[in-house]
Amino acid sequence: MMPRWATALAILIFVAMQYIFFMVMPRPHHPAPLPMRMMMSYAWGAMWASYILLIGYVSRDAKRRAMSVGLWILVCVVLPGGIGAVVYFLLRQPVLTRCPNCSTSISATFHFCPQCQFQMSPVCKECHRGVKITDVFCVQCGHDLAMDGAPARLRVYSD
């Protein structure tokens, strides 16, 4: 799920933080103690690498959910402290799947395709609410699901 560019950039940023803390920042007259430099270089490197990986995840997930990738990357970069990523996770769209019968993009929570009425998941024939494949009776109305005659591709899991 993580793009390769984000992984490579995160490694580069982590190594760059090590370079900055060990080669650029030490002053010849007052060097910071080695354990302090090691702790700070690791903490800052891990923080920035994690932030880059988070942006990479948002870019791949937004594409998977048919959302504007550029807009969400911009929101994640511009809003400080990871607030953009939190906004993304609160406002993201549900994952879209394709109907195996007509290839229409539909939400993964749909029980029937809105274009061809293909049954995507098992439902009770009485109350038309979703049921689990392993249920014997409907949890909403108590209907005996064995009498419904679900399609064979859905029944195969219940045996």
- The 3 state secondary structure assigned to the chain is CCCHHHHHHHHHHHHHHHHHHHHHCCCCCCCCCHHHHHHHHHHHHHHHHHHHHHHHHHHHHHHHCCCCHHHHHHHHHHCHHHHHHHHHHHHCCCCEEECCCCCCEEECCCCECCCCCCECCCECCCCCCECCCCCCECCCCCCEHHHCCCCHHHHCCCC
**pTM given for the model:** 0.68
- What SS3 class is residue 119? strand
pLDDT tens for the chain, 159 residues long, are 889 999 999 999 999 999 988 888 777 667 778 888 889 999 999 999 999 999 999 999 999 888 999 999 999 999 988 899 999 999 998 888 888 888 888 887 787 888 888 887 778 888 878 787 777 888 888 888 777 665 555 555 444
Domain boundaries, the chain: 4-93, 95-159
Q: Which residue type is seen at 48?
A: W
The predicted structure's pLDDT at residue 60:
93
pLDDT at position 101 is 87
